Structure 1
Amino acid sequence: MKKLLFLILCIGFSFHHAYAQKKKPNVILVFIDDMGWADLSCFGNTDAETPNIDRFASEGICFDQFYVNSPICSPSRVAIATGTYPQRWNITSYLARRELNKERGIANWLDPAAPMLARKLKDDGYTTGHFGKWHMGGQRDVTEAPYISEYGYDQSLTNFEGMGPKLLPLTKDENGEVGRIWQDAEILGEGYHWVQRSEITTGFIDSAITFMDKALEADKPFYVDIWPDDVHSPYWPPFEEYGVAKEAGKRGLYLAVLEAMDKQFGKLFEYIESNKELKDNTLVIFCSDNGPEQGAGRAGELKGYKTHLYEGGIRSSLIVWAPGFMNKKAVGTRNRASLFSAIDLSPSILDFTGTKTDNGLVDGEDMLPTLLGQKKRVATSADFL
């Protein structure tokens, strides 16, 4: 009888283990556009409140010494999407119209052969989606760039700087006058919809939630980018707030947009936390692509802004949330010691998901134990030799 009971227990354990192995974790990468290191109230902003993001941070870990790999948009996005230095792909500044790209000696778009994190995860059985700004090809008059789907994504919805379906920004001032931004972006792929700029992040989040719902129904793990551009100029907060914010100047408009973005993210966080399957099996990484525009966002006491190679241009506030995987003692803490960068996220996520790769090109290091609060990696002099 004891032998039979032991056998049943062994079979049960094996089944449970096999099931657990099949339930790969989900990953959401939130990449904010032009947000300063000290713009979130959980990172010291006393001029605006970001309660939804702050609450999310209180359930995860905040990192004070996280750096992106460029102080400007396009190369920073290449780095986080590939785990490699953007110089490898001849993208060292923001991508613009072809003549300006030629003058600066940079590519018109990211080579589709680049080692995309999304493609590696897709090859491992993940369903992959990109929702938000792209800016790695397909902008201004560069209309023949590869579609986002050619980089390993099953679905995409972008803005005026990417190829494929997109949400294009409408504006409304204090007098109710409606305008358009980047209306020429209609030439960059079919399926565009005009939406008030202050509501576009909601559009990206709604589409991402629908995408995640379908993945859950299909019992497939997902990898999702949510890359909004709210806090990139021009700043257009909700119509009801525009007049008052405008009176406070550029900084006032920025803070109003920042708070509106936080409200929109509340819907995403509520969606994840209200679903136990998601909450226990999802990693969310939240950071910015570079420092703030001067006169708008702030980087605390750090010197420099967007486009500057000073700390203020490249240090980003980083929040990591994964309650089902984190060291419980680290939840709600602040890591001030560990120093790492955006190219480290790709190999860390591949480790987290158990994704086997061909060990191809990668410049970043696996920082997963640090991200999950299992240990702190402190920079030494060897890191700078």
Structure 2
Amino acid sequence: MKLHLLVLLLLCFTTTTHLSAAERPPNVVLVFIDDMGWGDFSSFGNQAATTEHCDRLAKEGLRFTQFYVNSPICSPSRTAISTGQYPQRWKISSYLAHRKLNERRGMAQWLDPAAPMLAEMLHDAGYATGHFGKWHMGGQRDVGEAPLITEYGFDASLTNFEGLGDRVLAELDAYDGKKPRLHTLGSDKLGRGKVTWEKRDKITETFVDATIDFIRQAQANDQPFYVNVWPDDVHSPFFPPKARRGDQTKRELYLGVLETMDEQLGVLFDFIRQDEQLKSNTLILMCSDNGPELGAGSAGPYRGHKTTLYEGGIRSPLIVWGPGLIDANKTGTTNSKSVFAAFDLVPSLLSICGASAKEGTQFDGEALPGVLLGQADKSHSTPLCFRRPPDRPELQGKQLPDLAVRGGQWKLLCSYDGSDVELYDLNEDEGETTNVADKHPDVVASLQETILSWHQSMPADNGQDWEPN
């Protein structure tokens, strides 16, 4: 069911002076997919499912293989890609849940609106800004007093059960003749926005329809636009259409959802591609918020999955498309050299869009516009640091590393106090199979100092309290 609930919200857009094509700032669409593994796009090696619409973006754009998100779990990853900063700065280090669990883990209840939001900075530069999809930075479970999404610099929003404002809640239909169950996690009781019900296999379609309506209104107002399209249906529970349920194992249901999402996103991609003005001046970026759920998606050749600090938990596929913006000589190529992360996207996109950060803002990310546009193969200049979610200390009885750092070819993992060191040479061992810490004491000492110093500089959570005895 297509929604037309955005019209009233969009009337408040600020119109701009008419600009020529050469003067017009680029539009940006950020597709941030929930719980999808590095190896889940066909263009990244998936032979079990076909993602033809997403793959077409890769064929017409750029593919990045050494891109990271800044956390192996949802809320902090979304915080980093929105703020350009480590999410721990805002005391968001695991998924936001009900208030008692957030407090127990030493976390905030929602992202502080004082955080430097990319959307707000682009809005201040004259952009129309919209968020359509999962939010999960406040307004979930029993936390009903969190700020609305529109308080973070967005003109309009439509979300799911992990945010406030207008939202679409899912009916879980297994196509078995039984009445669909409702998937709300308490969101239907929070108020503060219109609730619409839709089958789970139509949720991404609904977000796409709302996005297209938003883009059309921005065009009518002669505004550049920045849009978040953040699908949540690749996250469990998996409820694909009847024709894509396969043998109904977890893996087959996941693949069915993946292909359905690709098909529904394809409507948006085709809408942009078929409009010459949009095609020549729109940048689409697409990645995942963290690694795959165990037993569902694929991390490709990488060890680990969602919630772990091994590569499979924090390395994400990244596709960048923009025929009128990226270097035409690099169309369809793969960048396997640039090592950078989601928080780098914020200053990079500000640079590409000709917008400025708010005075006094200090990003942890770095501006790498040439990398995104195929003009350079630079990397983030300093080591990338990671901390595990406080409530994920072990898996299947085995203790997980608390901290990780990527510096050049090296990846070090360790406990909070620097013990239990693991060191991997990712140039030679991308699957993190052979711990070479004993052979490289100087590398260990340097990276150990880096990660411990970073850890101590960030606000603490209660991860220590979750350590197994």
- TM-score range (shorter-chain normalised) is over 0.9
Please list, as runs of the form range in 1=range in 2, the aligned pairs for 1:179-328 lying within 5 A after superposition: 179-182=181-184, 184-188=186-190, 189-242=192-245, 244-246=246-248, 249-328=249-328
State the distance in 1 between where 2:356 and 2:302 align.
Answer: 39
Larger fraction in helix:
1
Correspondence for 1:106: 107
State the distance in 2 between where 1:77 and 1:173 align.
Answer: 30
Please list, as runs of the form range in 1=range in 2, the aligned pairs for 1:1-385 lying within 5 A after superposition: 19-20=20-21, 22-177=23-178, 178-182=180-184, 184-188=186-190, 189-242=192-245, 244-246=246-248, 249-357=249-357, 358=359, 360-377=361-378, 384=407
Runs of 4+ aligned structure 1 residues displaced above 4 Å come to 378-383
State the distance in 2 between where 1:115 and 1:323 align.
Answer: 29
Aligned pair in 2 of structure 1 residues 193, 364: CA closer, same or farther (>3 Å)?
A: same
CA contact 2:366–2:380 (8 Å) conserved in 1: no
Aligned pair in 2 of structure 1 residues 365, 173: CA closer, same or farther (>3 Å)?
A: same
3-state SS of 2:20 partner: helix
| One-letter amino acid of the counterpart of residue 189, structure 2 | I
State the distance in 2 between where 1:73 and 1:109 align.
Answer: 13
Aligned-pair distance for 1:338?
A: 0.7
Scaled by the length of structure 2, the TM-score of the pair is 0.76
CA contact 1:27–1:283 (8 Å) conserved in 2: yes
Correspondence for 1:6: none
Aligned pair in 2 of structure 1 residues 359, 277: CA closer, same or farther (>3 Å)?
A: farther
Correspondence for 2:462: none
Aligned-pair distance for 1:240?
A: 3.5
State the distance in 2 between where 1:220 and 1:276 align.
Answer: 16
Aligned-pair distance for 1:19?
A: 3.3
State the distance in 2 between where 1:164 and 1:367 align.
Answer: 34
State the distance in 2 between where 1:171 and 1:20 align.
Answer: 45
Aligned-pair distance for 1:375?
A: 1.3
Superposed CA deviations along residues 78-120 of structure 1, whole A, max 9, x for unmatched, are 0000000001100011000000011101000000010000000
CA contact 2:302–2:311 (8 Å) conserved in 1: yes
Aligned-pair distance for 1:378?
A: 5.1
State the distance in 1 between where 2:177 and 2:342 align.
Answer: 41
CA contact 2:40–2:297 (8 Å) conserved in 1: yes
State the distance in 1 between where 2:269 and 2:296 align.
Answer: 26
Aligned-pair distance for 1:361?
A: 2.4
| One-letter amino acid of the counterpart of residue 235, structure 1 | F
Superposed CA deviations along residues 172-198 of structure 1, whole A, max 9, x for unmatched, are 113232221116211332211000000
State the distance in 2 between where 1:382 and 1:250 align.
Answer: 36
CA contact 1:169–1:200 (8 Å) conserved in 2: yes
| One-letter amino acid of the counterpart of residue 184, structure 1 | G
Aligned-pair distance for 1:142?
A: 0.4
State the distance in 1 between where 2:82 and 2:381 align.
Answer: 27
State the distance in 1 between where 2:175 and 2:247 align.
Answer: 10
Most deviating of 372-381 and 266-275: 372-381
Scaled by the length of structure 1, the TM-score of the pair is 0.92
Aligned pair in 2 of structure 1 residues 382, 218: CA closer, same or farther (>3 Å)?
A: closer
Superposed CA deviations along residues 64-87 of structure 1, whole A, max 9, x for unmatched, are 000000000000000000000001
Structure 2: where are the runs of 5+ without partners?
A: 1-18, 385-406, 408-445, 447-469
3-state SS of 2:243 partner: helix
Structure 1: where are the runs of 5+ without partners?
A: 1-17
Aligned-pair distance for 1:57?
A: 1.0
Residue identity over aligned pairs, in percent, reads 55
CA contact 2:141–2:185 (8 Å) conserved in 1: no
State the distance in 1 between where 2:187 and 2:254 align.
Answer: 24
Aligned pair in 2 of structure 1 residues 164, 378: CA closer, same or farther (>3 Å)?
A: closer
Most deviating of 373-382 and 332-341: 373-382
Aligned-pair distance for 1:56?
A: 1.3
**Relative contact order, higher structure (CA 8 A, sep 6+):** 1
State the distance in 2 between where 1:203 and 1:81 align.
Answer: 22
Aligned-pair distance for 1:235?
A: 0.3
Aligned-pair distance for 1:348?
A: 0.4
3-state SS of 2:349 partner: helix
CA RMSD of aligned residues (A): 1.6
